[in-house]
Chain A
Amino acid sequence: MLVSILRQGDFLIASIHTALDDSELLRFQHDVVAHIGEHRSRGVIIDVAALDVLDSFGCRSLRDLAQIARLRGATTAIVGIQPDVAFAIVQLGMDVDLHTALDLEEGLRLLEHLTTGQRGGRSTLGVLGDMP
């Protein structure tokens, strides 16, 4: 199993367990978005703690996923980015305007904080930066 997408209350927890290639990433993106619609989720947590590397495509996919999720009314938080991955991402100059948290627990708390006061699972926050 490469990924898992679990429902936790109003949130989705999508974990990537191993390095994904480009087509697997796109499929993952598609699956997450489908789950958001199905469960009417208010927030999505993407756990990348198992990834030692994240290339520019992976990074862009995550950003795209967050933007797509926002259009579908859910806020996205990326959790568990490894130190080396974090620095590689900024080193590559990838402008990632995402919500991030240390781990799953923190991510849940962050999403709770970001989505309180919303009703019906519809996000009204300007979560992401300007769309390219």
Chain B
Amino acid sequence: MTTNVPPAASAAERAYADEHAKLLPELVAHLREHRTELREEWSTRITAAHLLAAMTPQEVTSETISVYDNYVEVLETGSVQALQRYAQDLSERIIPRGVETHEVVGIVLLLRDVLARSLFKKYQQDFGLLNRVLDAYEPAANRIANTVAVSFVDERERVIRQQQDAIRELSTPVLQVRERLLILPIIGVLDNQRASQLTEQLLHGIRTHRAKVVVIDITGVADVDEPVANHLVRTVDASRLMGASVIITGLSSEIAQTLVMIGVDLSKMNTIGDLQGGIEEAERLLGFKVTKSEEN
């Protein structure tokens, strides 16, 4: 970061940059020299602020050593790549332990403050020099804080995306229970995206299984809003166009009330109280007769 001075820079700027280039190594040497005491000071402040409570003191110690060394290295080289890798790796380890974003950002900012304080102390005699040292230190320190925070948030988002994918995969099973009879148990929140995914899977399921009757069980759905209700009605219509009739079961009283209140046209919908009743009705439509065997 000290080398990219444009060629057209004035003499004063160049002199300033030269000094800048000299100051950083000095700064790094200072931080290396006082490594142990500064790191301990930092650890104390982390504990005082009740950060990283989910980790044991030993873990905090070893992580603070690594973070400190990485920090100084970034100041020295100006390259955040190694730090980025480390921060990502750290995030992977600590996110499952329940460490929050504010804690991670908090500890990095604390380290920045601890180091800045030590610089104040060292250069307190010469205010002009202190100013220039801080000029060199602050951008680098902010960049480090930024990098760590972004790495942490990226990692979190990656985990969230992964979980969303997992939910999407699991969320809409289309199961054949008898010849030409499918059931679709829906559990959880039905949002727009899930509803359209459900429709797609159902319609393709009807074709592959040559289904004649489909039972959609929404016992596990807590609430349905108007767009989703309308989507359900359209799904039922589309299934009918493909030659399958749909039975909806497990409408909770809340959902039933909502549907009536928002005025969804349910006249064409075949609804039955529970899944058992739905399957029995479907069997009747298909001409199955289930009888208990005599021996039992």
CA distance A96 to B200 in the complex (A): 20
Contact: B206 with A90, CB < 8 Å? no
Q: Which residue of B lies closest to A77 (CB)?
A: B243
Of B66-74, B135-143, B232-240, which binds chain A?
B232-240
Residue among B203, B206, B237, B241 with most chain A CB within 10 A: B241
For residue B144, CB closer than 8 A to chain A, the reply is no
Of B203, B207, B210, B211, which is within 8 A of A87 by CB? B203
Which residues does chain B contribute within 8 Å of A46, judged by CB atoms?
none
Interface size for B (C-beta < 8 A) is 19
Q: Which of B217-276 contact A (CB under 8 A)?
A: 234-235, 237-244
For residue B85, CB closer than 8 A to chain A, the reply is no
Q: Which residue of B lies closest to A89 (CB)?
A: B241
The B interface is mostly helix, strand or loop, or mixed, namely helix
Residue among A78, A86, A96, A103 with most chain B CB within 10 A: A86
Contact: A83 with B243, CB < 8 Å? no
Which residues does chain A contribute within 8 Å of B171, judged by CB atoms?
none
Contact: B243 with A90, CB < 8 Å? no
Contact: A90 with B237, CB < 8 Å? yes
Which residues does chain B contribute within 8 Å of A78, judged by CB atoms?
241
For residue B199, CB closer than 8 A to chain A, the reply is yes
Contact: B242 with A81, CB < 8 Å? yes
Which residues does chain A contribute within 8 Å of B240, judged by CB atoms?
100
For residue B178, CB closer than 8 A to chain A, the reply is no
For residue A101, CB closer than 8 A to chain B, the reply is yes
Contact: A83 with B234, CB < 8 Å? no
For residue B30, CB closer than 8 A to chain A, the reply is no
Of B203, B204, B207, B243, which is within 8 A of A100 by CB? B243
A81 to chain B minimum Cβ distance, whole angstroms, is 5
Given A101-B243, A102-B243: A83 and B206 interface contact (C-beta under 8 Å): yes
For residue A23, CB closer than 8 A to chain B, the reply is no
Contact: B243 with A106, CB < 8 Å? yes
Contact: B210 with A102, CB < 8 Å? yes
Of A86, A96, A101, A106, which is within 8 A of B203 by CB? A86
Contact: A89 with B238, CB < 8 Å? yes
The 3 closest A-B pairs by CB, nearest first: A83-B203, A102-B243, A101-B243
A-B contact pairs, 30 of them (CB 8 A): A78-B241, A79-B243, A81-B241, A83-B200, A83-B204, A83-B206, A83-B207, A83-B242, A85-B241, A86-B238, A86-B241, A86-B242, A87-B200, A87-B203, A87-B234, A89-B241, A90-B234, A90-B237, A90-B241, A91-B234, A100-B241, A100-B242, A102-B206, A102-B207, A102-B211, A102-B212, A102-B242, A103-B243, A106-B243, A110-B243
18 more contacts with CB within 8 A, not counting A87-B203, A90-B235, A102-B206, are A79-B243, A81-B241, A83-B238, A83-B242, A86-B241, A87-B234, A90-B234, A91-B234, A96-B241, A100-B241, A100-B243, A101-B243, A102-B207, A103-B243, A106-B210, A106-B212, A106-B243, A107-B243
